[in-house]
Amino acid sequence: MSPFAQTSFVSHRPYSSSRLPAGRQASAIPLWITTNVTRVNIVTFAVLIVVCFAYIIQVNNTASKGYQIRDLENTIHQLSVANQQSELEIHEAQSLDNIQHAVKMIGMVPADQAVYVDARGGAVAFAK
């Protein structure tokens, strides 16, 4: 390494590593891990358990939403069939044959000749 690179590398040390001795800077984390293997294993196991529970909860939520979607799709299908049946009944009730039959049932007869009233004449009212 050139002398310039050595001076620039040494002069720009991070604040946290300046507290440690020069020989211990690179081995501080691995040394802590080797001395605290049990703690590292416990923390790793705890993180793994938390991730597994989160995964199970997420899969359960997704499955339950899938069932809800399927139920809603069945409801939509049933309502669309009921809507089609209602529209069919409406069209049958509005058909010309049905209306002609209803007119005969209530006793209406066709008009022979229409008589129109002339509304241009004067208005007349009865007095009491």
pTM as predicted:
0.46
Domain map of the chain by residue range? Answer: 23-105
For 76-91, give one letter per residue: b (16+ CB within 10 A) or e.
Answer: eeeeeeeeeeeeeeee
What's the Rg (C-alpha) of the chain? Answer: 46
pLDDT, one tens digit for every residue, the chain (128 residues): 566 556 555 544 454 545 555 555 557 888 888 888 999 999 999 999 999 999 999 999 999 999 999 999 999 999 999 999 999 999 988 888 888 888 888 888 878 888 887 777 666 767 77
